[in-house]
Amino acid sequence: MKFFCIVALAGFAHWLMHQALLGLAHAVAFGRFLLETVIGFGSASVLPQLPLERRLGLALNFLNNPARSLPLPDAVWDHSLASGLLLALNSLFWGACFAAFVWAVANTARRYGFLPAGHDGKGVLRFGWLRIHNLLLKHEVLVPVLALAFASAVSVALVFARILWTENLRYTFLVWNLFLAWLPLLLALLVCELHRNGQTRNWRLAGLTGVWLLFFPNAPYIFTDLIHLTTRFRPHFWVDLMLILICALTGLVLGFLSLYLMQSVVTRSFGRVAGWLFIAMVAGLSSVGVYLGRFVRVNSWDVVARPGKLFQGITDWVSDPFAHSTSFAFPVLFAIFLFIAYVLLYALTHLQQPQPLSPTLKQTPET
């Protein structure tokens, strides 16, 4: 059993490396497209093939069919069994390289204090859970976190109530989307913790900020799940509409709480104007992310899992943003929606409570 698990993990590592190289190849192709556009200004300007492109092509050919990379007659490797055997050995080799890389990263993280030293896998998981638990129960975010936990629990309960009522698992994706909406809040709390400890300019803060930006579009993305109500006539249209809106509102507030925490970090570091410019930038980038998720069907983790498809979607959108009626209008309108909704919520949270009049200013009733 352990052998089959090792083979499966090695195959996954081989596929992951192939996707990473494919994404890098698409990124280089995208860079070529930008250079040709800038240099040629719309004319036919073709740059010569770069050495990096040739090396990426050779590496992809080796990962796709390593048999063809060996100096042997084609007749030897045309046999499917021989080619499959070599591909399996190749996957084991790249899997071992991937395992060595993960081991080196884990040791480096322990050396610099990012992971506790001298613990096994369970100890690391326990340490991470306790750290997240302590972050969520901090006094300054305790009330909104409890409110969002209550809203999430109600949303999940309503989804399961619908499953029991209709005997249909159609809307279980809302539970997964709510889970993804919690991730930006956890990442934002970690960023605030690093900033509070004085670690304002290091690779951990930059890395967590980048991961937060990748996962933030998952919070407002739930609003696009309204498309499931328009595919065909639904006998429970209004019930499903309210269910999706409750989950979408919860996800939006989860995202806005994380955005508020990130804005506070940017404001303390660079000033109030930079904080609001950060909000506008995040609204624009998130709207593009939501567009890619809904129409190109990519996820946040596809930066690692399927970078080729992600870069291909971005390249197609940048090269012709007016290809479809929604390719340009949707990101712009969704960015405006996010920015206005955040400004309104920000204004409501900063509303001052009316103070009672002092006794000396109260008017005496007429007799």
Instruction: Report pLDDT digits (tens) over 214-261.
Output: 999 999 999 998 888 876 656 778 888 899 999 999 999 999 999 999
Do residues 190 and 52 both lie within one domain?
no
The model's pTM is: 0.66
Token pair 């001298």 in the structure block, residue:
118
Residue 48 in any domain: the answer is: yes
**In the chain, % of residues over pLDDT 70:** 54
Tally the C-alpha atoms within 13 A of residue 283's C-alpha that lie toward its C-beta: 21
pLDDT at 262: 93
Quick check: is 100 in a domain? yes
Q: Are both 54 and 135 inside the same structural domain? A: no
- The string over 221-249, giving b where at least 16 C-beta atoms fall within 10 Å of a residue's C-beta and e elsewhere, is bbbbbeeeeeeeeeeeeeebeebbebbbe
Report in angstroms the alpha-carbon separations of 316 from 180, 283, 296, 327: 26, 21, 10, 10
Where b means 16+ CB within 10 Å and e means fewer, 305-341 reads bbbbbbbbbbbebeeeeeeeeebeebbeebbeebbeb
- Whether 308 and 204 map to the same domain: the answer is yes
- Asked if 288 and 182 count as a contact pair (C-beta separation under 8 A), the reply is no
Is 253 inside any structural domain?
A: yes
Residues 105-120: what's their mean pLDDT? 60
Residues 129 and 261 in one domain: yes
Longest CA span, the chain: 114
Q: Report which of residues 240 and 75 the model is more confident about.
A: 240
- Confidence category of residue 315, pLDDT binned at 50, 70, 90: confident
In single-letter form, the type of residue at position 56 comes to L
Task: Give the residue, 31 or 213, on which the prediction is more confident.
Answer: 213
pLDDT-derived band of residue 290, with 50, 70 and 90 as boundaries?
very high
Using the predicted structure, report yes or no on whether residue 42 has a pLDDT greater than 50: no
**Which residue's structure tokens are 């899997």?**
95
CA distances (Å), origin 331, targets 107, 282, 336, 338, 351? 41, 12, 9, 10, 30
Q: How many domains does the chain have?
A: 2
Which residues span the domain enclosing 93? 2-111
